[in-house]
Amino acid sequence: MKNVLENLQRYQDLLLRIRQLEHELTTYPESVEKLGQELKQHLIAVARSEEQLAENSGQKDRKEEYLVLCKANLEKFEQDLMEVTNQKEYSAVLKEIDSTKREIHETETVIITLMESTKQLKTECEQLKTSSDQLQVTHDEAISGFRDTNQGKIKEKGKLEKEKRRLEKLIPASHMRRFNQIAARRAGIAVATVTDECCSACNMKIRPQMVNNMQRNPDKMYICDNCQRILVYIEPDGDDS
């Protein structure tokens, strides 16, 4: 039966393998990555097209509101023309009427241009959306195919996670806390083995007294004086004879 520290070492091995599997299962082949980048660029283009379309529509709405105002002013000026009493007023009103008619003509021209531009933008936006939808399907199928070819890794990861949860129940909370503290500072490597009286992580010689204590008390936690990792004593193989 494994002691506490051996379980802790196994726990670390599980964490490292699970991390490796997660990396492999989320690091897609170049072809899938390329599809993802292409899809991202299409989505950006769609967003920009929609933004431009909204801006055009807003400009058209404002110009149409202004056109209504200009036509109302023209109607007022034409009414005023019927009521003037001298040549000076008549000339002034005529000038306002001519200016307003030019403004109406220019505004109507801008509105027509905006309508044509909006129509073109709508077509481009719809084409971009269609293209993005097709790319999304292709990308999703590529990812699904990638996952199908990695079912073995997915199953292995599931089994390892199950064993990890089992070990978490066996390892004392104090050991888990110390393990997590060290792992956070040491890139996930909190446990090192002692082989030939040396720490496997930093290769520093372990004091003989500590090695003796580890042999006598295999469940007690000992820390490497140099790298501050938890030490697990490994019994040397017997002589082959």
Are residues 87 and 118 both part of a single domain?
yes
Q: State the greatest distance between any 2 C-alpha atoms of the chain, in Å, as a whole number.
A: 133
202, two tokens = 């930093």
pLDDT tens-digit readout, 37-66: 999 999 999 999 999 999 999 999 999 999
Residues 17 and 108 in one domain: no
pLDDT tier for residue 211 given thresholds of 50, 70 and 90: very high
> Is residue 238 one of the residues assigned to a domain?
no
Q: In this structure, are 115 and 204 located in the same domain?
A: no
pLDDT for residue 240:
43
Tell me whether residue 97 is in a domain. Answer: yes
Q: How big is the chain, counted in residues?
A: 241
Q: Which residues, at least 6 apart from 3, have a Cβ–Cβ distance to it below 8 Å?
A: 218, 219
Q: Are residues 13 and 40 in the same domain?
A: no
Domain count for the chain: 2
* Residue 100 buriedness (CB in 10 A; 0-12 / 13-18 / 19+): buried
Assess whether 47 and 141 both reside in one domain: yes
Q: How confident is the model at residue 196 (pLDDT cuts 50, 70, 90)?
A: confident
Give me the percent of the chain exceeding a pLDDT of 70. Answer: 97
CATH label of the domain that carries residue 40: 1.10.287.1700
- In this structure, the answer to whether residues 128 and 188 fall within a common structural domain is no
Q: Which pTM value belongs to this model?
A: 0.55
Residues 118-132, mean pLDDT to the nearest whole number: 92
Segment 69-90 mean pLDDT: 90
Q: Where is the domain boundary, 151, 176, 206?
A: 151
3-state DSSP call for residue 157?
Answer: helix
Q: 5: which residues sit within 8 A by CB, 6+ positions away?
A: 175, 191, 218, 219, 221, 230, 231, 232, 233
Which pLDDT score, from 0 to 100, does residue 241 have?
A: 37
Confidence (pLDDT) at 28:
83
Return mean pLDDT, the chain. Answer: 91
How many helices (H) and strands (E) in the chain? 6, 4
Quote the domain boundaries for residue 157.
Answer: 4-23+153-233
Asked if residue 239 belongs to a domain, the reply is no
Q: Helix or strand or coil: residue 89?
A: helix
Q: How confident is the model at residue 98 (pLDDT cuts 50, 70, 90)?
A: very high
Residues 214 and 233: beta-carbon distance below 8 Å: yes
At 20 the pLDDT is 93
Beta strand pairing call for 191-195 and 198-199: antiparallel
pLDDT score for 2: 66
Q: Are residues 31 and 130 in the same domain?
A: yes
Q: What is the model's pLDDT at position 234?
A: 80
Same domain, yes or no, for 54 and 132?
Answer: yes
Task: Check residues 66 and 237 and name the one with the higher pLDDT.
Answer: 66
Q: Are residues 181 and 128 in the same domain?
A: no
Encoded tokens for 78: 């034409």
Residue 70: per-residue pLDDT: 95
- Residues in CB range of 136: below 8 A, 6 or more apart: 39
Residue 51 lies in a domain: yes
Predicted confidence at residue 102, as pLDDT, reads: 95
